[in-house]
Amino acid sequence: MSDEPAPLSTDVVGDTPVALEDVVDREALEDLCKSVHALFGIGVRVYSSEGALLANVATELELCRAVNEVSGARAACGTTVSVAKSVDPGEAGEITHPCFTGLAYRIVSLEHEGRRVGRVVLGPFAPAGLREAPPSLAQTDKRLDLAQATDLLSRVPRVKSEALGRIAAHLKTSLELIIFSSHKAWVTSKLHLYSVRESYRELQDKTQRLEQTLARLKEVDRLKSNFLATMSHELRTPLTSIIGYSEMLAEGIAGPLNEEQTEYVRTIHSKGEQLLRLIMGLLDLSKLESGTMSLRQAPTEITPILKEVISTLAPVARKKEVELVLDATDVSCELAADAERLRQVFINLVDNAVKFTPKGGRVTVSSRVTQAPPPSGDDEDAMGAVLLAPLLTQVEVRVADTGIGIPPSERTKVFDAFYQVDQSSTREYGGTGLGLSIVKRIVDAHGGSVRVEGNEPKGTVFVVTLPSAQARRAALPSRVPPPAP
């Protein structure tokens, strides 16, 4: 939960009185009043419960104009109107308010959810029985011309009380419906807003929690890498002594050893070396994982690297009676790569290939320049292929053996650290299970990719593709290594 308080929505889902000003569309209200006015010729005014005038449709009667020309009468008119605005319409919600001219106003309260939210003031109109100006008119201001007033009064349309009641009831129903609909629309829009806000707040909370978790995981990951690096270092130091002293013993520096002793000491020495390689591998892996291994990227060609790898491993292959062939003529494509690291990649792959190939088998290392397939999918990616094609140049190196092969289902897992296809303790082929995961990480760090294919009729092909220096500089989207799974 964030500290921010939840949005206040009690106005919408509570019982706060509705303010007409907030919910009703004044134009719509005015339109309705106009149509009533046009039908019956009676002025219509709508007030909110706060006294705000929301609609005002009336044509001034000649009588009213005459009255308003006289100051005393004008004041009396003002008083009448303001009382009509505020007089309590009683339990029935409807009241007739007389004017000193003999005319009258009909006041009807507007209700919504059992509350009075406003009123309609109809009038002024002339009650059906009105014949002549009442005494109250004469008393209001001596300057009023009574004869003229009576004449004007006779021209005001007469409205029967029952008819007015029906008009008022109809108007009340219509207005209350407008209020209901408007309130409903108002509630909908407000609630929409609040739920969006609430959902946003929830998402924010979740994002924050995820961010915290991510930060914690990153920290744990960093600690793990640090631990690995430190441990590797601490393990290496005593191991160096073991290897060094066993080597000196084996060479007879401390005196001659018999055959059996020499064999024991050589075993200690070779196992020590094996352990050292494992530790070095772990160290490399942790550096690659933590991103602390810096690649010294420089203009590089693939052929010299492969030649060197072949010559390094030729004795091993010869000893195992496995044929080792390099097929890499005329591969000229500049790479931006760390030659030392690439050598490590191919030493690993070729060494593996030789290891898993039985006597009389064959390991072929071939390389060629290829074009990466243009990004497929959307039309947008396919655009401008003619411009982008030169940047899609890559070097593909294939290390093919005729060994035991890797089942298709295992082909992506072999790059996981410590993974062995044969997990049994009695497995035929030794190894730390780190080699291929290091290979993959180095290739990834070069913006390339490595995958496994089957070799016909049997065996495995490791395919490494490396983008050209040009492609790396352009950093095409397709070159960005995919995120680690």
Could you give the CA distance from residue 383 to residue 210 in angstroms, rounded to a whole number? 37
Which tokens sit at 375?
Answer: 């990004």
Which tokens sit at 148?
Answer: 């003229």
Complex with another protein: residue 132 or 202, whichever CB lies closer? 202
**Minimum CB distance to another protein, residue 7 (Å):** 8
Residues forming contacts to another protein in the complex (CB under 8 A) are 1, 6, 9-10, 12-15, 112-115, 180, 183-184, 187-188, 191-192, 194-195, 198-199, 202
- Please answer whether residues 375 and 381 qualify as being in contact, where contact means their C-beta atoms are separated by less than 8 angstroms: yes
**Minimum CB distance to another protein, residue 180 (Å):** 5
Complex with another protein: residue 205 or 219, whichever CB lies closer? 205
**Minimum CB distance to another protein, residue 193 (Å):** 10
Taking Cα atoms as reference points, which of 27, 28, 86 lies closest to residue 52? Answer: 86
Could you give the CA distance from residue 95 to residue 105 in angstroms, rounded to a whole number? 8
**Minimum CB distance to another protein, residue 60 (Å):** 37
Complex with another protein: residue 44 or 171, whichever CB lies closer? 171
Complex with another protein: residue 40 or 180, whichever CB lies closer? 180
**Which long-range contacts link 206-211 to residues 24+ away (Cβ below 8 Å)?**
208/2
Complex with another protein: residue 25 or 202, whichever CB lies closer? 202
**Minimum CB distance to another protein, residue 92 (Å):** 13
Q: How far is CA 97 from CA 83, 127, 341, 342, 428, in A?
A: 8, 11, 100, 101, 110
Complex with another protein: residue 200 or 429, whichever CB lies closer? 200
CA terminus-to-terminus distance, the chain: 31
Taking Cα atoms as reference points, which of 436, 440, 443, 485 lies closest to residue 467? Answer: 443
Q: How many CB atoms lie within 10 A of CB 109?
A: 19
Q: Are strands 323-327 and 362-371 parallel, antiparallel or unpaired?
A: parallel
**Minimum CB distance to another protein, residue 9 (Å):** 5
**Minimum CB distance to another protein, residue 482 (Å):** 33
- Please answer whether residues 106 and 164 qualify as being in contact, where contact means their C-beta atoms are separated by less than 8 angstroms: yes
- Please answer whether residues 99 and 67 qualify as being in contact, where contact means their C-beta atoms are separated by less than 8 angstroms: no
Which tokens sit at 333?
Answer: 């494509």
Complex with another protein: residue 6 or 169, whichever CB lies closer? 6
Complex with another protein: residue 180 or 245, whichever CB lies closer? 180
**Minimum CB distance to another protein, residue 469 (Å):** 51
Could you give the CA distance from residue 376 to residue 392 in angstroms, rounded to a whole number? 13
